[in-house]
Each structure stands twice: as C-alpha cells, then as structure tokens.
Amino acid sequence: MEKGLIPEDVINRIRERADIVDIVGAHLSLTKAGQNFKGLCPFHQEKTPSFTVSPSRQTFHCFGCGEGGNVFSFLMKIDGSTFPAVVRALGEKVGVPVEDRPVSPAVRQRMELRERLLALTKVAAERFHLNLLADAEAEPARNYLASRGMTPDTIERFDIGYSQSGWDGTLTALTKAGFSAEDIAAAGLAIPREQAAGFYDRFRGRVMFPIRDLQKQVIGFGGRMLDDGTPKYLNSPETPLFSKGRILYALDAARDAITRLGYVIVVEGYFDAIALHQAGCANAVATLGTALTPEHLELIRRFTQRVVLLFDPDAAGVRAALRTMDLFLGSGFSVQVGSVPAGDDPDTFIRSQGPDAFAALIKSAPSLLEFTVQASLTAGRAGTVEDRVRCVEDVLTLLQKLSNPVEQSAAIRHVADQLGMDEKALLARYKALPRKSVKASTPQPSAGVFENQPLPKDEEVLLQLLVHEVLTPEMWTEVRAEDFTDTRAKRLVSLVCAADAPHTRQQALAQAGEDELCGSITRALSMTELPYDNINAAFQQSLKALKLRRIAVELQEIKAAEALATKAGRDEEARTLLVRLNVLQQERQKLSKINPSSYNEAGRIHA
C-alpha cells in the first residue's frame, strides 16, 4: 500500500546505506573485474557477461542491452515494482524506516480511490473468470473459446472470463463484496441509469479479458460479444486506472520476452495477442481498439527499439501504416510491417500455418517505409493516369518526412524504377514540392532511441575525460555543447558544464547517469578505464577535431546562404555573411596549425 510521499532525505539515506553489489549479487552471480563486478545480464539473453556493477558509483550498466541505473531502478526492473514499493522494501532491509510525508486532502483522496478501485477490479476479474469456468450460462462462451483454439492453460494464464447477460449481475456481486455502486461505476464496470436512480452493468453477455498494468494489477477490461449485438468489442472507459491510449494489452506478460528477443510484435486484437503467446510468440502485445500513440511508443521504448507491426493487407491496413509512419518519424525505432494473407489474421494464420511460417513472415517483413511506399505504388499502378500522378505526389510527400538524405535518394530511385519513370524528373518534382514540417506530436528521441549506437570517436574521448573528472579548470572552459553532434553528448555536456564547481559537477554527473537521454552513455563511459597516456594531448586533439568539424559545417551553410543573398540582390546580408565567412576561415586556419602530441589510441565504447 503506497500511503504517501516519501521524503527525499529518507530516499537518500536508503541509497547511501544500500550496497548495489550486495543487492544485485542476491539476484545473479557477480565476479570481480578490475574496479567493477560483472555478470550475465538478467534483462536479456547473453553468453558472455556484459552486465557491469560499479561499487564506487553505485550504478549498474549492461553493455549488451543498455539497461542501467541505480539500486532502485535495478529492483524496479527485476521485480516489476513501483518506486515507492521498492524504496519501502529496501528501507526495511537496510534499517531505514520509511515515514510518509503528509499529502494534501485532494491527493490523499485520489490515492485512496485508486486503491479501492484496484481492489475492486481484482475481485471483478476473479468473478468473471469463475463465471467462465463454472456458470452454466457461460457454456456458449466456453464453446466459442474452444473454437478459437484457446486451451484451458491459456484461459487460466490470461484469466479470461465471462460477464453474465443480466442487467446487474456484476453490480450485485460487487456490492455484496463490500464495494459501493459509485466506485463500481468509477472503475468503468457500471453505468448510471438515465430514466431512474441507480446503475446497471456495462459488460453483459461477453467474453471478458482483464487488462493489466506492468505491475500485473487489473486496471480495466475488454469484452467480446458472443451474439450479433454491438459493439462486438467493448473496452473499459477512461477511469482513474485506465487509459487505452497508454496501455498495451499483454505487455505485462510479454515484457521479459521482448527484452530477451530484442523486439515486440504489435497486433490489433486480444485474440491475436493471446494466440501468438499460446503458440510460443511471447513478445506479442495488442492495441486496445486505437491506433498507436506517442504514449505507447514511450512504453515500448522501455523494453526495445525494434517494433514489428502486423497490419491487414487491405486499404485500411495501408492507411494505418501511413498514420504510423508519421508517429515513428524521428523516434529512433526500427520498424517493420508484416502482412498475413488476405482473409487471415495473426490468430488464424498461426493456428493454421504454425509458428515456423509465422516466424518466416516476421523475418521477411519489410521496413515501415518500404511497406508504405510499395502500398502507394501498387495503388497507383492499378489506377488511371490521374491515379498514377496522385500516387507520385503522395509518395514524394511521404519521402519529405525522411531526415536522412541518403535514405531519401535511395527511396526516390526505387520509386522511379517501380513506376518506370525518369529518376531526374522525379527528383526535380520532389524538390519542387512545398516543404511540410513533421507534426509537432512526433515524439522526441529519448533514452532508448540511441541504444547501441557508437559515439563519434572524438566526442567519445572528450566525454570519457569528462565523466572521469580529469579535466583541468582551463579544459572545462573550452568544452561547449554546440561543438558536439551526438544528441546524447550534447545533453551530457549541457548538464555537467552548467555546474560551476567540482562538487556541483559531481552532482550533475550523478544526475546525468539517471537522465533519460544520456544516462546510458554516462554509465558506460564511467565504467571503463582511461586508456590515455597523455590526457592533455587526448583532450586537445579531440577538441580540435570537433571544432574543425563544426566550422566546416557552418562554412558550408554560410557559403550557400551568401550565394542566395547575392543572387536575390540582398547586398547588405551578403556582406555580413562574407565577414562571418572570413572569421570562420581564420579560426579554421588557426586550429589547423595546432599539432598536439600523439596519444595512446584506445578501443571505442559502445553505449
């Protein structure tokens, strides 16, 4: 029971008293490796230990999957618990009592309501499941599940249930169990009557699917109608516990397999997800009658950056892919789209064709870009001349959203080949299109976006020196975030260089180690030995390379801008740009004369 807010000083005392080596060592075997300890990562499958624990920094980091953090984040990940629950349990273990800080009446009221609703939904799920197993009225539901290939073990594993067809069976049972009608309605299980006082059941005569959060608590339900009633599928409404745009069905059951296998399969229905799990594809999740949202992506990002979407191969599936294209732009995810044959869905396909055929379908799934471009081209080739023209416009507009010019060029070449068009003509049309900005709702890169991407060498060297705190005061004054190109590096430098004293820099480094964007590389760099014989030479040579690269980019931009200003007759602007051009050329010439002594080259670190 999470009673209230835990004071920050209590959390800090627990962190100081808990030894991360002891805590992690209770869950996996660790061996000494220099100043650190190593073991097999508990969060993904590996044969060679890449999971590292630093006793000096009290942090852990896996060089294989990128997971990392402090003692609290380790226990949250390994146990699937909330932060307050982990703090309380660890406080009891290390002898630091946890006393709650008083909260406002409004906050207390919300917390108490949530606890009551969680208790209520747990009892409701148990009742629905018992109905399915023992109620004579549920015989059609049992037959229906059998016809869909659901085994007794699967029904038990996912707590599938049945809601009776009467108007108030669930309401009456939960009221007898001690819950108020108002709380039953607040949990989304009852609806107020319009013409009279009281409530009636929301779910009636349906196969019931409990929906759980990552702590395996029941937070909502989905119901499938057995007869011709509508809607065929019905989800819980928005409640203090449940928001369908933030929840993925079966993620609680799939999270370990997703981490182990390195990717998630996203389908569109309960039965599809359950059928895949039953067939051994335990990394499948389902959306709840809604398109993927930015919140869904952030949820997935906690476990993987590779996503396989299963869409129907019809027009609706193509439209879904196009919508998803916008969502995934700039997110850093690797996305593939698999399509089952027409007339099938993942459920029927894996039951009729078997797991091997399904695995082959996943393996051959094209990228999201390839799928959407190909779908548009197919529609264009099958239509009139006007359809072909519109198809070209649609595809080129889609390609505008790509940030990688190499990817854009390759895609344009592919489109020209597919349509039998001249590549130069297509490229000219592409350049003539009005530029459209990416939607503001596109999620910004965060933690998992950059996992396993190496840093540029010179940026890695400087960051390594920075996190090991070997820079002199003079060196600190030369480090600027704008000289770095890697987004993680910029974030780390911005956090640490904002500090104006050694002790505040240490605090900033600790903060960077927990930062969503740069935490992974901060931990990885801090857990390696410094390989440089000459710290000053390593610093100066890498800093010179960074500055020269930044100047080269700016010179190119200014030359292009000056040419445009001259052509347009904007003489004053052109003169200003020429002055800046001259300053940059002098700065480049000065930097080029610097010849720092050689230093020991070391292997790269992959965050």
Question: CATH no. for residue 410?
Answer: 3.40.1360.10
Choice between 321 and 476, residue whose per-residue pLDDT is larger? 476
391-419: average pLDDT:
72
Choice between 428 and 583, residue whose per-residue pLDDT is larger? 583
**Which of 121-130, 246-255, 395-404 has maximum average pLDDT?**
121-130
Residues linked to residue 36 through DSSP beta bridges, in sequence order = 33
Residue 419: pLDDT band with limits 50, 70, 90: low
Residue 154: pLDDT band with limits 50, 70, 90: very high
In a domain, 601, yes or no: no
371-378: average pLDDT:
74
Query: Would strands 334-339 and 306-311 be described as parallel, antiparallel, or unpaired?
Result: parallel
Asked if residue 461 and residue 427 are part of one domain, the reply reads no
Residues of the chain by 3-state class (helix, strand, coil), percent to 5: 55, 10, 35
Helix, strand or coil for residue 190? strand
Per-residue H/E/C for 520-575: HHHHHHHCCCCCCCCHHHHHHHHHHHHHHHHHHHHHHHHHHHHHHHHHCCCHHHHH
In a domain, 599, yes or no: no
Asked if residue 536 and residue 492 are part of one domain, the reply reads yes
Tell which phi-psi region holds residue 313, choosing left (phi > 0), alpha (psi between -120 and 50) or beta: alpha
388-404: average pLDDT:
70
Please give the DSSP secondary-structure letter assigned to residue 460.
H
DSSP of 373-431, one letter per residue?
HHHHHHHHHTS-HHHHHHHHHHHHHHHHT---HHHHHHHHHHHHHHHT--HHHHHHHHH
472-491: average pLDDT:
85
The residue among 207, 193, 183 whose CA lies nearest residue 135 is 207
Question: Residue 47's pLDDT is what?
Answer: 84
Q: Which residues contact 478 (CB under 8 A, 6 or more apart)?
A: 543
d(CA 237, CA 103) in angstroms, rounded, equals 28
Question: Residue 263's pLDDT is what?
Answer: 92
Instruction: Report the CATH number at residue 81.
Output: 3.90.580.10
Query: Would strands 161-163 and 68-69 be described as parallel, antiparallel, or unpaired?
Result: unpaired
Residue 24: pLDDT band with limits 50, 70, 90: very high
Among 94, 126, 160, residue at a domain's last position = 94
In a domain, 606, yes or no: no
Residue 265, phi then psi, degrees to nearest 5: -105, 125
pLDDT score of 386 more than 60: yes
d(CA 269, CA 287) in angstroms, rounded, equals 7
Structurally, how many domains does the chain consist of? Answer: 4
Q: Which domain holds residue 384?
A: 243-447
Among 59, 94, 129, residue at a domain's last position = 94
The residue among 93, 173, 65 whose CA lies nearest residue 126 is 173
Mean pLDDT taken over the chain: 82
d(CA 551, CA 544) in angstroms, rounded, equals 11
Residue 150: pLDDT band with limits 50, 70, 90: very high
Of 302-306, 428-432, 485-489, which range is least confident? 428-432
Residue 446: pLDDT band with limits 50, 70, 90: very low
Question: Residue 502's pLDDT is what?
Answer: 67
In a domain, 2, yes or no: no
Question: Residue 503's pLDDT is what?
Answer: 63
d(CA 509, CA 467) in angstroms, rounded, equals 7
d(CA 207, CA 132) in angstroms, rounded, equals 8
pLDDT score of 288 more than 80: yes
Question: Residue 101's pLDDT is what?
Answer: 63
Residue 408: pLDDT band with limits 50, 70, 90: confident
405-419: average pLDDT:
74
Of 32-36, 243-247, 507-511, which range is least confident? 507-511
Helix, strand or coil for residue 440? coil
Q: Which residues contact 417 (CB under 8 A, 6 or more apart)?
A: none
End-to-end CA distance of the chain: 37
Helix, strand or coil for residue 238? coil
Q: Which residues contact 495 (CB under 8 A, 6 or more apart)?
A: 508, 511, 512, 515, 518
**CA atoms lying within 13 Å on the CB side of residue 261:** 19
pLDDT score of 574 more than 90: no
In a domain, 308, yes or no: yes
58-75: average pLDDT:
87
197-207: average pLDDT:
95
User: For 485-507, how does the pLDDT look when each residue is reduced to its tens digit (9 = 90+)?
Assistant: 888 888 888 888 877 666 677 77
Question: Whose structure tokens read 């906690």?
Answer: 302
Question: Residue 69's pLDDT is what?
Answer: 86
d(CA 586, CA 599) in angstroms, rounded, equals 27
In a domain, 293, yes or no: yes
d(CA 279, CA 605) in angstroms, rounded, equals 39
Residue 599: pLDDT band with limits 50, 70, 90: very low
0.75 surpassed by pTM: no
Asked if residue 320 and residue 396 are part of one domain, the reply reads yes
In a domain, 304, yes or no: yes
188-216: average pLDDT:
92
pLDDT score of 68 more than 70: yes
User: For 450-462, how does the pLDDT look when each residue is reduced to its tens digit (9 = 90+)?
Assistant: 444 678 888 888 9
Residue 295: pLDDT band with limits 50, 70, 90: confident
b/e for 94-111, b at 16 or more Cβ within 10 A?
Answer: bebebeeeeeeeeeeeeb
Residue 602: pLDDT band with limits 50, 70, 90: very low
336-365: average pLDDT:
88
Asked if residue 193 and residue 161 are part of one domain, the reply reads yes
Asked if residue 165 and residue 60 are part of one domain, the reply reads no
Among 241, 261, 276, residue at a domain's last position = 241
